[in-house]
Amino acid sequence: MSLTLGEKEIILSSIRDIPDFPKAGIIFKDISTLLSNPQALDTLMTHLENRYQNYDLDYVAGIDARGFIFGSILADRLGVGFVPVRKKGKLPYTTVAEKYALEYGFDEVEVHIDAFGEQKGARVLLMDDLIATGGTAKAAASLIGKVGAHCVEACFVMELAFLKGREGFSAPVYSVLEID
């Protein structure tokens, strides 16, 4: 299922560009304007619901923090569970962690050790708002496997294609909007 040009325009025109945030030379893609636009949000979520309704998913896992928004809405629409993939130290129970490289240093993401229940091989869709270099998403996909589930696809609202974040990804990658 692909978006029509009109649907793409509805979504894309609802995303605000913020120049020089968080630092000079970066154009930040602000999704708060997408979230506050009911037509754009419904267009996006209906598209994702239609795409994933026959994937036989057990869970949607959303990456901290904007992936929580889209992922939880999609999980609700699909009638499956939602699992948060959090930054280190934010989850209250026993966790499994995965480190990933940043431009300068490392960061970590975590999930609860029982995030996907006792069902081995649970089918999981990984969701976030944006894929840039892919470090966080690749770490999150690795975590899904570490706790015995299977990442069937990674889905992003936007992809900064010029950063090649999808290269070397362990699961198929789908992005609603590609930005060059």
Report whether pLDDT(103) > 90: no
For 45-70, the pLDDT digits (tens) are 999 999 999 999 999 999 999 999 99
Q: Phi/psi of residue 42, each to 5°?
A: -65, -40
The tally of CA atoms less than 13 A away on the side-chain side of residue 172 is 6
Report whether pLDDT(180) > 90: no
Domain range annotation of the chain: 55-179
With cut-offs at 50, 70 and 90, classify the pLDDT of residue 155.
very high
Q: Which tokens belong to 27?
A: 């154009």
Report whether pLDDT(1) > 80: no
Q: Which residues are catalytic?
A: 66, 103
CA 157 from chain centre, in angstroms, equals: 8
Q: Which tokens belong to 76?
A: 């609700």
Q: Which CATH architecture has domain 55-179?
A: 3-Layer(aba) Sandwich (3.40)
For 11-52, the pLDDT digits (tens) are 999 999 999 998 899 899 999 999 999 999 999 999 999 999
Alpha carbon distance 136, 103 (integer Å): 12
For the chain, the C-alpha Rg in angstroms (whole number) is 16
Alpha carbon distance 76, 135 (integer Å): 27
